Amino acid sequence: MNIAQQKEKLRKEISLLKKQYSADDLYNRSEEVLSVLEITGAFQQAKTIFIYNSMDDEVQTLDFINRWSAEKNFYLPVVVKDDIVFRKYVQDTTLKQSSYGIMEPLGDNFTDYKKVDLIIVPGVAFDRKMGRLGRGRGYYDRFLSLISAPKMGICFEFQLLDTIPVDTNDIKMDYIVSENEFIWK
């Protein structure tokens, strides 16, 4: 089995695992993950943060973003053709549903990447070697290759494995956070 096939097999396995949890379970687990994230030095020191607005089966981020929005500047990804751009988010930002069902902010693209202190990245799976498996479209890997800010993957414990299939295009994380683990390079 080649790497692409291994990745697809793992995506299906993780998807089945996620379906074993109710929306409430995933929300409660999300709160645990985020309570670990918010005590890290990387988060505490960051002022300008790229983070994602979660899909139903990902670590739920919106309440967390709103809780910290008075102290941090948050930017959310927006899919534009084959790429992602980031736009400012505050509680009264107008959001529009994307073709993926994700609520994305309207407004201007943020392009001053040198000012970004931390990027909080979703993933289907992560490993303890800092590898990340995304959904397969490459949006994040293409984007993350352009930016030098620290990259923090966040996931549920069942998404964190000892090893996952990765190839040369896959961007490594600097940190990974789950409910019970904080891993750094």
Q: Which parts are annotated binding residues?
A: 7-11, 58, 132-140
Binding-site entries for ATP: 7-11, 132-140
Residue the block writes with tokens 């930002």? 93
CA distances from 29 to 109, 117, 154 (A): 31, 25, 11
Binding-site entries for substrate: 58
Q: SS3 letters for the chain?
A: CCHHHHHHHHHHHHHHHHCCCCHHHHHHHHHHHHHHHCCCHHHHHCCEEECCCCCCCCCCCHHHHHHHCCCCEEEEEEEECCEEEEEEECCCCCEEECCCCCEEECCCEECCHHHCCEEEECCCEEECCCCEECCCCCHHHHHHCCCCCCEEEECCHHHEECCCCCCCCCCCCCEEECCCCEEEC
